[in-house]
Every structure is written in structure tokens, then in C-alpha cells.
Structure 1
Amino acid sequence: MFQLPDYIGPCAFGIKMGVIIPGTDLQEMILQDITRMDADGMLETCDVLAITESIVARAQNNFVSIDDVAAEIRNLLSLTPESRVGVVFPIASRNRFSLILKSIARAVPKGEVIVQLSFPDDEVGNQIIPPDVAIELGEKHEGLIRSGDLPQEFTHPLTGVNYIGLYETIIREAGARPTIFLCNDPARITDFAPDAVIAADIHTREKTRAALSAVIPNCCTLQDICSKGTSLPGSEWGLLGSNMSSEERLKLAPHLADLFACTLQDAILKKTGKHLEIIVYGDGAYKDPSSGIYELADPITTFGATPGIGDSLREGFKMKYMVDMFHAEGRSEEEITKLLEEEYKRAREIHCIECEGTTPRNMKDVLASLADLVSGSADAGTPMILIKGIHNKH
């Protein structure tokens, strides 16, 4: 019988699963793994089961073709094949944005796609042009840098991709004319007289939409595309959180992930008698200190969760501060241990000195970030993570 020793604190285990394809009964597959885990003594009430959004969406067959996305964009923005459409603040990513751009270009195959990139980086930290070049050219061209103003081609320092060149190629291959420029003021897209504009940023999309709506009423965000229907394929997040699935198909974010989490929770309780909390997670909310890239390319860390997770915060008292304080008072090691045990039972205001330096974080973000770090996005083969000892609210 598997049993963690008492001296083990919070931990997370990657759970290996088989291949998940469209139509897989994912709940039944998970229940089989849960039954085995329970038999091995791994499960306790208040554990968290984190399931990556990718397998939920795949099992749902939540895929959409590029041509279908193009048709929806044409209809949503009342475009003709000759229209000029602006795209403001997309991220620099083959996986996250290249197929969306292909869809936009196919919506206006005889028209023009005007892409406005922020500089020197996109909103998640991908470098568009080097910072020193950005300062020089930004001052020289009064904040609006056309692709022809660049002294050379610049590539992403990690991927080696020239995203300006890549995006121009994608637009041309669809038959449209590309115009790409760099500017941090979204309203400057009006300099190019688009018929419609898509606010393509993720976390700042509503702020960008508000700025654009004041000058170009015919605008939308990526969340408005592929989000209107109640049946699959589709997602309440629209194209936000989508990924490249093939050259002609996007995988959308899961459909009604909260419902999936709650249904699974009920099934696990019935099967094992254990009340687990469930999250359906995407990207972790962390920033890489070496590259400066903020990994959260999804609109949210957690697409779905059971009500027990809620909007709670992970917080607590500053243990090392308390130890130092008690030691300074002349307390013995045994006395400090007893006092800390008492501190765990006390309720505290979040602003008290004992909590100073312990940053309260949204529990969903903590759990999703931990799960994402454990599972990764490569070949670990662990799309389900069992998290113990962190979320104990019940």
C-alpha cells in the first residue's frame, strides 16, 4: 500500500495516461487511472486532480478548420474578398497565432491584411526587435516603424524565427497583400484605413478593443470568433487558447470545462468515496527569468474548476519570520515548534506583519502553474497531475 511519510509536504505527481484521440471517453479513462491510484493508497480527500486542457479539448473533438474560421471572420466583420482588415497586437508565435493569421488572410484573399505589432516585445515577452533598435527607430519614426524602416531582418533570440517575414509570407500565400508595422498605440491602425480591425492580444484585449472602438466601430477580439454557438466545435474563449493542430486545423480551448470538472468530481466520489477538487489547466502563470518570456499565452491558467477551488488565495504566515522572532525572544527549539503549531490554527488578516512577504496568490494560478511545470508540453506523457498538500480548504 502506497503511503507518503509524514515528513513529506506539498507535492505533485505526473500521472501517465494512454493516447487520447477525438471521441475518447476521457472520464472513463481517468476513472480507470483513479481506481488504480486509490487502490495504491495515493488518494485523499482534498487532493487536487489537474487535467491539461489539451486532452479535454481533443477528446471533445473541438477542432475547427482554417476555412471555417475565415468564413466566420468574413461574416462577423462584414468583409468582402477585397476588404482591408487590421490585426492589432498579435503575439509572435507559430503555434498560437500563425494559423489564426492564415484564417484572417483567407477571409480577404483579394484584399489587404494590416498587422500592427507592439515593440520591442509582444505582450508575453517575445522579442520583435532588439530594445536598443526599438529606442532608436521609435524616436526616429515618431513611434510608428514600418517593416521597410528596419535596417535588417531580426529573428527571435530563442526560436530563430523572423516573425515579421513569417507573417508576411502567410498573408501573401493566402492571396492578400501584407502590411506590417510596429507601434504601441493601437489607434495608429487608422493611419492605414482598415475596413475592420481584430484586437488580437490576449490579456489586454478589452483595453485594446475600447481604444479601437473609439475610432473604428467595426472591430472584435479573438474571443468573439468561434464562440457564439452552443455546440462543438466552439469555445466560450473563441480563438483564445487555441493551438495549431495541423496546417489546416486549430484545436480550440475546451468547451464548458467547468461542467467537465464537476461531472468528473461526482464520478470520482461515487467510485472511491474521495472528494477531490478538479481543475482543467492550460499555461502556467510564470515568467522565465532568462528569456523574459511570460509563459501565459492562454487567456487564463484554469479553463475549468470545481466550486471548491473557487477564487481562494494561497496564503499563510511567514514561517521564517516567526522563527526568527521567537528565537530573538529567547525561545527554545521545542518552544518554537509548539508556538508554530499554534500559529497554524490562527486566522489572520492578510495585511498583518506575520504575513508580510508572503504574497497571496490565486489558488487556481498556483495549482495550474505547478501542474504545467510538472507535465510540461513535450514528451513526458503525463497530462494528469495529482497535487497533494496545497489545497486543503474543504
Structure 2
Amino acid sequence: MASLPSSEDSRFGLRRQARLTAPLRLSSGATLGPVDIAYETYGAMNADRSNVILICHALTGDQYVASDHPVTGKPGWWWRLVGEGKPVDPARHFIICSNVIGSCMGSSGPASIDPVTGDPFAMRFPVLTIADMVRAQAALLDHLGVERLKAVIGGSMGGMQALTWPTLFPDRVESCVVIASTARHSAQNIAFHEVGRQAIMADPNWRGGDYYADGQAPVAGLSVARMAAHITYLSEAGLTEKFGRRLQARDAKTFGFDADFQVESYLRHQGLSFTDRFDANSYLYITRAMDYYDIADDHGGSLATAFTATKARFCLVSFDTDWLYPTTESRIIVHALNASGAQASFVELSSPFGHDAFLLECPELNRVVDGFLRGGRA
């Protein structure tokens, strides 16, 4: 069993990596092993190991949920929810956040070295599913000696992982918080992802994914993919309020194809800055995993059947301006949970920020999560 952090370390988080030697069997039938899992922990496990909370990250997230990112230097992506005095508090909880397999921040992914060839896997890495990511997390918890979770929490793709946990490991999850998420990827979402993947693969530097040797990565394609995806994370009202049709650092249109408008400049910045911290091949693999995600399809076509074995409590949160995973998607999950007899509470929150609202300032979300973790309902 891995050593656990001391309370002296808990304020800052502990950066760790575990190598799991047992092969991980994947949904595709392939196996992956050994498996590296990069993770961070905050707080300390109590004597009966009943205070463990697993945080699951979204598509472009990582394990640095509440500590500074080593590449960008920015605060953890969910510092508003996780930290001292926050709903998920290291003074009360032992918090684990791991980088999903397929990603590029220390867990096994396309940039990892294939032990057979000695070269990066690139596109020879096996195709993954959300369920595979969850199975890898479960293997990490086994490695850490964690048998049961007080809660598993996630937003967006993290919510997909959180919702999958009680379907695969019904006896290991006490409660589940799913924020701004869904039970399956829609045709529209698959379409947006395909635009991003095609942008990457059309970049001359992609070269079938074999770009690691010379470091000439397909940054232009990845930047465009990020720009297209970022639009889906925002709302029309939010874009209009923030940018409108205001010009960028000029008094008149240039009648050219420079970034005349502030919103254009913003998207270009988002795209380029993303390439400094993310791998293009990982983007391909993770978006494909999200597209394959369909919990009902994995349980005979019945979403309710997926939850019949679990005794977990569920909290579902949506946002009224989120058109990527709108409130209707959360209601579908709630109806299925009700049909399965599970304890479920649901709330739709108001925010001008669209899908990204779960990452931004939202006191109502903090109140909901805090109350639910203390035993209440949303």
C-alpha cells in the first residue's frame, strides 16, 4: 500500500504517481499494463477510512484540482469548491484527484513509452472509454488501500466518471455528485468533437500521431480544436456581455483577416495557450472516449437498470444556460434514478456563464454541494 500524506502536507497537496503492474482490461477487449496514474491528495484519511472523496476532472483538466498547476502556474481548476473552508475540505476529507488514463499529465497515455518498443505509444495506444478511466481510478484506490468512497464528485466529463462509478462499483460509493453532465454523448457533441479531431489530424505536423521525436507537434490543429470546443463551454448571453461586437485594440475594422473583434482575439489566445499544456493525441483519445460514453447502452439499453445495484445517494446539478449538457440531460438521469429506487436530488442553478459555470464563481453550487455532503438534499 502506498504511503499516505501527513496532515502537515495537506494544505498544499501531494503530487504523486503510482505504477500499477496488474494489466487493466479495457472495454475494447485490449489490455494496458503497467499503468501509471498521476494523482494528488489533500487532507488525511481518518482511522476508519470513511472520509475519502474522489474528484474527477473534465476533458482538459488534470489532477491539480486545488494546487498550482506546474506548467501554467495558475491555481487549481476547482479551488472555489475544494480547499480549506470549502465544501470539499482537507480538514474533514481525504481528497484524491487523479489524471485520467489517456491524458498527458503523468498518467498512461499516447505520449507514454511503450515498454515493447521503447518509443512513445502515439496512436498505438489503445482506444479508451469513460468506464476504462473509472476502472483505472478503482485500481489506484486499491493501491492506496481505499475500499469505499464517501463521495465521488465531478463536472462535465468528470460528472460522466462520477456517474459511472456506482454502475461499475455499486458497493464502493456512498454518494455521487454529478454537475453539468449527462448519461450519454449526443450527436451534436460528437459532431463538435469530430471537428476538433479533424483539425488536429489535418495539421501537417500530426503525421499520424508520430510527432514526439522532433517535438514538432500539431499545435495549429490543436489550437483550432480548442477554439471550437471553447465556444461550446460558453453561453451566447455570456459572450455578448463579455465581448459583444467590440473591436480589439483598434478604432476601425481592418478589412482583413486579423482578429478585428475581441471575441476572435480571446479564442485565439485560448487556443494557443492550451497547446502549452496539452497533447494533441491525448485530445483525440479523450474526446473519443467521451463520444463512446452511453451508460444505458452498457446496461441493455436501460439507464435505470444501471443503478439498481447501488445504495448510493445522488445529487444532480445543472445550469440554465448550459447548452452543451442542458438541464434536460440531468432530468433524464434523475428519472432513471427514481425508476431504479435510488435516492436522488436535483437542482437547476441560474448562471450567465454556460457550461463553464461549474468552474466559475457560483456560491449556490457551493451551498448545494456542502449541504449534500453533510447529509442533506440539493
TM class by shorter chain equals under 0.3
Give me the TM-score of the superposition, normalised by structure 1.
0.27
Q: TM-score, normalised by structure 2?
A: 0.27
If asked which structure has higher relative contact order (CA below 8 Å, sep 6+), I would say: 1
